[in-house]
């Protein structure tokens, strides 16, 4: 399964990639903001998206809305520092399937991914 990770922090992308490889998902592609995420998505083969919210050029919310306009079915997990209730609701309304607040444990990421794929 190919997973697209969109986050402007290279450290965070490495942490997510590392966690994914430990739980059996080694096929990943990376984007550093919504714009490059859309480019990677356009190259095909992506079956799931993990995206941050706060990014330059195109933020995660705009990215999710754009993706949903093209692909209503692809599972999207938002992983962000935004913890306010209104943020979570806004993300869900935009089309996010599940939501993780940073910092997270590998167990949480695993649980959320499995619930999206299950």
Partner 1 sequence: MDQTEIDALLAGGGKSPRKPKAAVPAAPPVPAPQGEPHKDGSGHVISELDTVTAVTERESNKVMDQLDQISRLVSRQQELITGIMRHEGAQSPGVQKAIHEVMSAGKEIQDKVFEAMDLMQFQDITRQKLERIVHHLRQIHDYIVDLLGTGLKSDAERPSISHTIAQTGTTPDENKAHADAVIEAYKSQKKG
54 near partner 1, judged by CB under 8 A: yes
- At residue 38's C-alpha, the angle toward residues 83 and 97, to 5°, is 40
22 near partner 1, judged by CB under 8 A: yes
Question: How many Cα neighbours within 13 Å face the side chain of 38?
Answer: 16
- Closer CB to partner 1, residue 44 or residue 85? 85
92 near partner 1, judged by CB under 8 A: yes
Q: Based on C-alpha coordinates, what's the Rg of the chain?
A: 13
Q: Which parts of this chain interact with partner 1 (CB under 8 A)?
A: 7-12, 14-15, 18-19, 22, 53-57, 59, 61, 80-89, 92, 98-106, 108
């Amino acid at each position: 399964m190919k997973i697209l990770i969109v986050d402007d922090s290279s450290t965070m992308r490495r942490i997510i990639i590392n966690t994914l490889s430990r739980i059996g998902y080694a096929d990943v592609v990376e984007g550093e903001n919504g714009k490059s995420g859309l480019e990677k998505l356009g190259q095909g083969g992506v079956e799931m998206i993990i995206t941050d919210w706060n990014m330059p050029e195109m933020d995660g919310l705009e990215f999710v809305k754009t993706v949903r306009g093209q692909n209503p079915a692809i599972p999207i997990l938002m992983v962000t520092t935004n913890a306010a209730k209104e943020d979570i609701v806004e993300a869900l309304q935009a089309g996010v399937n599940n939501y993780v607040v940073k910092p997270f444990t590998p167990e949480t990421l695993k649980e959320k991914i499995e619930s999206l794929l299950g």
